[in-house]
């Protein structure tokens, strides 16, 4: 009997699992570099620490590390381990693909709009009243929230796919 992960679709499944790892590596390099620049360049550090909405740039950095580096590593690991643990293939390869793309689009959008809100707020806060700055930043943050909702949706897709994969796993062992 062949293992459940040794099917025709395995090549594509492995490809997407590796893409999660490649994304993890890419986001970690971006996030680590970003952190070094924020800490090492005095003007940048001052901007994020002391300008209105500058802390949003720190949030972008945090999200690229957490949702990019850490979460992508977790996704890849779980996608690799679960089929081997329960001796059956993933429920839906299509959902793995959808998960990958929605998560990445959502994360990149979140990071871009967090950063944009931080830069716009930080620069305009030098010459404009707080109410005017808030008026400018609010729609940028609302857009960031839309992208954040995509990341949340991707996480639900991941959870559903894993739930359906694991549901009834005991029967697989009873049959072997």
pTM for the structure as a whole? 0.90
pLDDT tens, residue by residue, 27-71:
999 999 999 999 999 999 999 999 989 999 999 999 999 999 999
Is residue 134 within 8 A of residue 142, CB to CB? The reply is: no
| Mean per-residue pLDDT, 152-161 | 98
| Average of per-residue pLDDT values in the chain | 93
**CB-based contacts of 133: which residues, under 8 Å, 6+ apart?**
52, 53, 121, 124, 125
Distances (CA, A) of 160 to 7, 16, 90, 98, 168: 22, 17, 11, 12, 14
What letter would DSSP give residue 129? Answer: -
Q: Determine the pLDDT at residue 1.
A: 43
pLDDT tens, residue by residue, 91-117:
999 999 999 999 999 999 999 999 999
Distance of alpha carbon 136 from alpha carbon 133, whole angstroms: 5
Alpha helices in 125-168 (DSSP H): 130-166
The string of DSSP codes covering 24-78 is HHHHHHHHHHHHHHHHH-HHHHHHHHHSTTTHHHHHHHHHIIIIIIIHHHHHHHH
């Amino acid at each position: 009997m062949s293992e459940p992960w040794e099917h025709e679709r395995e090549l594509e499944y492995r490809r997407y699992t590796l893409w999660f790892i490649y994304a993890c590596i890419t986001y970690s390099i971006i996030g680590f570099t970003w952190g070094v620049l924020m800490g090492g360049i005095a003007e940048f550090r001052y901007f994020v620490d002391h300008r209105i909405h500058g802390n949003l740039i720190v949030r972008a950095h945090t999200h690229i590390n957490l949702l990019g580096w850490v979460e992508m590593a977790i996704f890849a690991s779980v996608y690799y381990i679960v089929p081997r643990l329960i001796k059956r293939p993933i429920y839906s390869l299509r959902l793995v693909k959808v998960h990958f793309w929605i998560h990445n689009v959502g994360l990149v959008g979140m990071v871009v709009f967090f950063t944009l809100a931080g830069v716009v707020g930080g620069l305009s806060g030098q010459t404009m009243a707080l109410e005017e700055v808030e008026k400018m930043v609010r729609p940028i943050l609302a857009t960031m929230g839309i992208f954040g909702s995509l990341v949340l949706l991707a996480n639900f897709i991941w959870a559903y796919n894993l739930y359906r994969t694991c549901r009834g796993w005991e029967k697989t062992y009873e049959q072997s």
